[in-house]
Amino acid sequence: MSDTEDRILAAALSCFTELGVEATSIAMIRERAAVSTGSLYHHFENKEGLAAALYLRGVQSFHKVQVSALEQGRPQSVVEALVSGHLRWVEVNPAWARFLLESPRPEASNERVKAVAAALREANRAYAASVVGWFAAQRDAGEIRKLPSELYLPVVLGPAQEFARHWVSGRFRMSPTAAAVELSASAWRSLQTCEVGDDIVGTAGRSFS
Amino acid sequence: MSDTEDRILAAALSCFTELGVEATSIAMIRERAAVSTGSLYHHFENKEGLAAALYLRGVQSFHKVQVSALEQGRPQSVVEALVSGHLRWVEVNPAWARFLLESPRPEASNERVKAVAAALREANRAYAASVVGWFAAQRDAGEIRKLPSELYLPVVLGPAQEFARHWVSGRFRMSPTAAAVELSASAWRSLQTCEVGDDIVGTAGRSFS
Amino acid sequence: MSDTEDRILAAALSCFTELGVEATSIAMIRERAAVSTGSLYHHFENKEGLAAALYLRGVQSFHKVQVSALEQGRPQSVVEALVSGHLRWVEVNPAWARFLLESPRPEASNERVKAVAAALREANRAYAASVVGWFAAQRDAGEIRKLPSELYLPVVLGPAQEFARHWVSGRFRMSPTAAAVELSASAWRSLQTCEVGDDIVGTAGRSFS
Amino acid sequence: MSDTEDRILAAALSCFTELGVEATSIAMIRERAAVSTGSLYHHFENKEGLAAALYLRGVQSFHKVQVSALEQGRPQSVVEALVSGHLRWVEVNPAWARFLLESPRPEASNERVKAVAAALREANRAYAASVVGWFAAQRDAGEIRKLPSELYLPVVLGPAQEFARHWVSGRFRMSPTAAAVELSASAWRSLQTCEVGDDIVGTAGRSFS
DNA sequence: TATGAATGAGTCTTCATTCAT
DNA sequence: TATGAATGAAGACTCATTCAT
């Protein structure tokens, strides 16, 4: 990875997070990276390709943190690590977080961007397989509440994700890591098998896929 | 509200949800609404202004549903009504939901759009005041777990919101109302004051603002 | 002349002097005159027609002052009255002056504007006939220096005109009537037949900054 | 200065003098210069910027002629050189003259046009400093009539300027250089301290129509 | 007379992208 | 690898003007 490419990627990330991908022009990236138009196109196919490459990098970084959380031992520890790891990653990488949370998922219109788009799909698939697979296994082992598989990620990470969206856009002041304490506890509460009120168990037990 | 304005708004909503605000051209709206360019600009300041007007309408519709949920009696019923109401609204109004979930919040760059933007801010403020206020009151009455006020909305609606994002973009197949059963139960679980494990209570009790 | 028409003309004059005819839109005049679009077009044919009507009025007002100067007795008095009258008119009617000095002469593209344009041409012709005729007569009588007829107006009024241009656009601070003393003396000097009168020298010596 | 830029400037000048700046469309310049839209905007910021650049060039050319006139020895020669130089420049550069006389002075609305506008202001300042400074010095030396400094330029060049305005717009037929004989003599007459020289009278008497 | 909705041609300007050097 | 001139399609928006009520 040449210095030029790094400068371009950094410039693109900062432009994209400030203005959004669509509102960012090649000229702005070109200028902020101190690179000529020709040089930029020599290194990257496209604005679209640039965004996709960036998106893939961000997603991979995030996935790495998430997947490593699965290595905790007890289910409760894993769930809490998923939530806390999410929020810590957001706080440590605010630009990446903003980019991932506010940019539309890249679509591969262009021929040459398809490789990156395919890599992205594969990364998402592998991530979902790992994490959702882990939840399904715990569920089948009776360690956590029974839910349709699709719902585990929203239930566990939805609050953190929602918090993060507000935080990256400046509407929340509390730091993500401070919020992590409560949000990870909440996540576990909503998944633990209870000695809680029977009515809830009953309701929850009825429908899952 | 004239017939022309209605046609323009409907056309804009369908274009925006199909392609996104930025990718939609005025020409497309103009054509789909069967209206001349001049007429469109006679009724709406801008593409930006059009999007803002639409955003405001959508948000108001959603808020109405949410605020009405507060009228349920028991805290548990209210929480479940908030979640279920959210998901039902999404299922009944998929275009509006997609628009609100995937469009960037309108910013008032233009002078004349500012009125709409201000109305939007006020709507958000009033909504947050009602709902967050309700949660704070329940917290102070000991009816729900103590959390920093900022966290109640992410905890309660985050999972539904996350589910909705996936659903409107076609990545989830389960219907929102089907998901509502579990997600509303989960939401209540994460807020109820327990006769649950003491460790959780201890953790949860430590930090709130 | 209805009140509506007066309001429109006044609004148009103020817009035209502030922004220029081309940069002024009908919408601005409409707004400043507190008149509806339809009403404006009911009273005036065109933006072009409005400008032409205004131009004609301004020119007539100016010409009246100039022609009345010819009624002074002595050639010297007439010349001085022409210059002083010019500058006084500019100072008393700054908006009109700015409009006449900075707007392009109206051309009759439109069919219906032709009447006004013809009136304007006739006004200019009559003015030139009177004034240039007077100068030619004086020349032939040996009262003033012999010059090609075309040059009398530039020689006599050019300095005042140039001063006025600078003054209406804010580049000169001295008031037109203050400048009139010297400029009318200069005008006479450049026309008088030789032996320069002492009074003029005296006048010229009196005031300068 | 690339060939492309030259072609664009030449095309713009011819369009602007034919139709005026406002009435000229970018498309016309683009076409007449045989240049693509993008290329035009690659070299010049704006139509406004293009006009400003052109204005600056024209003014600089004119100022050079005027300032060189100050190098004549005797005051009378200088005054006559200023007037004759003015009119000769107008006759030799009719397009530039028309452009400068009939276009509104460029104003720096745009950010990037400001550099050109500043250069223009500086050029005007330097010109005024030289020429008005020369007149003030002559006045203080008793070589010319005492006038407020602001009035020297209108008195000396006003008639030529007025003549030029009429000439470039086709309302006068006499050539500027022909007019120069009388107008320079008149200019000197209005400035000389009393006793009128015979040579001037002689000159004045020679040519008129 | 007054109103304001409707029209649609026309203009400026942006921008991703290509390519010769 | 790097440069920046060149391209031209596409888009937003303006505006004078008409006309039904």
Asked if C180 contacts C84 with a C-beta cutoff of 8 angstroms, the reply is yes
Q: How far apart are CA B53 and CA B50, in angstroms?
A: 5
Q: What is the mean pLDDT of residues C81-110?
A: 92
Q: How far apart are CA B4 and CA A68, in angstroms?
A: 56
Higher-pLDDT residue of B200, A152: A152
Predicted TM-score (pTM) of this structure: 0.87
B38 touches strand E (CB under 7 A): yes
Q: How far apart are CA B128 and CA B112, in angstroms?
A: 26
Check if D92 contacts C (Cβ < 8 Å): no
In chain D, positions 25-64 with C-beta closer than 7 Å to nucleic chain E are 25-27, 37-38, 41, 46-48
Q: What is the pLDDT of residue D105?
A: 87
Q: What is the mean pLDDT of residues A167-195?
A: 93
Phi-psi region of C142 (alpha: psi -120 to 50; beta: other; left: phi over 0): left
Torsion, Cα of D2, D8, D14, D18 (10° steps): -160
- Closest approach of chain D CAs to the CA of C2, in angstroms? 33
CB contact under 8 A, C149 and D209: yes
CB contact under 8 A, D105 and C169: yes
Torsion, Cα of A175, A178, A182, A187 (10° steps): 70
Q: Which two tokens stand for residue D190?
A: 């209005």
pLDDT digits (tens, 9 = 90+) for A26-71: 999 999 999 999 999 999 988 988 999 999 999 999 999 999 999 9
pLDDT digits (tens, 9 = 90+) for C161-171: 999 999 999 99
Q: Give CA D208 to chain center in angstroms.
A: 25
Q: What is the pLDDT of residue C112?
A: 66
Q: Find which nucleotide's C1' atom is closest to A49's CA.
A: E16
User: Which percentage of chain A shows pLDDT scores above 90?
Assistant: 78
The separation, in Å, between residue D77 CA and nucleotide E7 C1' comes to 64
CB contact under 8 A, C162 and D153: yes
Query: How sure is the predictor about A129, in pLDDT bands with cuts at 50, 70 and 90?
Result: very high
Instruction: List chains adjacent to chain A, taking adjacency as at least 3 C-beta pairs closer than 8 Å.
Output: B
Q: What are phi and psi of B197, to 5 degrees?
A: -60, 135
Instruction: Assess whether chains D and C touch, using the rule of 3 or more C-beta pairs within 8 angstroms.
Output: yes
CB contact under 8 A, B148 and A174: yes
Instruction: Assess whether chains D and B touch, using the rule of 3 or more C-beta pairs within 8 angstroms.
Output: no
Q: How far apart are CA D95 and CA C49, in angstroms?
A: 29
Torsion, Cα of D166, D167, D170, D174 (10° steps): 120
Q: Of A192-196, B189-193, C176-180, D190-194, give the range with the top mean pLDDT.
A: C176-180
pLDDT digits (tens, 9 = 90+) for A73-105: 899 999 999 999 999 999 999 999 999 999 988
Among B168, B189, B196, pick the best mutation site for testing chain A contact (most A Cβ within 10 A). Answer: B189
Query: How sure is the predictor about C195, in pLDDT bands with cuts at 50, 70 and 90?
Result: low
Nearest alpha-carbon partner for C121 in C137, C106, C141 = C106
Q: What is the pLDDT of residue A197?
A: 43
Q: What is the pLDDT of residue B117?
A: 85
pLDDT surpasses 50 at A23: yes
State how far the alpha carbon of D102 is from the alpha carbons of A15, A46, A104, C62, in Å: 44, 47, 52, 21
pLDDT digits (tens, 9 = 90+) for D117-147: 888 889 999 999 999 999 999 999 999 999 9
Q: What is the pLDDT of residue D67?
A: 96
CB contact under 8 A, A102 and B104: yes
Q: What is the mean pLDDT of each run of 10 residues along chain B (209 residues)?
A: 91 96 96 97 94 94 96 93 98 97 84 81 93 96 95 98 96 96 96 60 30
Q: What is the pLDDT of residue B151?
A: 97
Nearest alpha-carbon partner for D92 in D169, D188, D176 = D176
Q: Whole-angstrom distance between the N-terminal and C-terminal Cα of chain D?
A: 46
- Closest approach of chain C CAs to the CA of D40, in angstroms? 23
pLDDT digits (tens, 9 = 90+) for D74-107: 999 999 999 999 999 999 999 999 999 999 888 7
Check if B106 contacts A (Cβ < 8 Å): no
Query: How sure is the predictor about D195, in pLDDT bands with cuts at 50, 70 and 90?
Result: low
DSSP element (H, E) containing D147: none
Q: What is the pLDDT of residue C113?
A: 73
Q: What is the pLDDT of residue B205?
A: 27
What are the percentages of helix, strand and coil residues in chain B, rounded to 5? 75, 0, 25
C-facing residues of D in 146-175 (CB < 8 A) are 146-151, 153-155, 157-163, 166, 169, 172-174
pLDDT surpasses 50 at C197: no
Q: What is the pLDDT of residue A117?
A: 83
Q: Find which nucleotide's C1' atom is closest to B40's CA.
A: E6
Q: What is the pLDDT of residue C108?
A: 66
pLDDT surpasses 70 at C203: no
B-facing residues of A in 23-52 (CB < 8 A) are 23
Q: Which two tokens stand for residue D191?
A: 């400035």
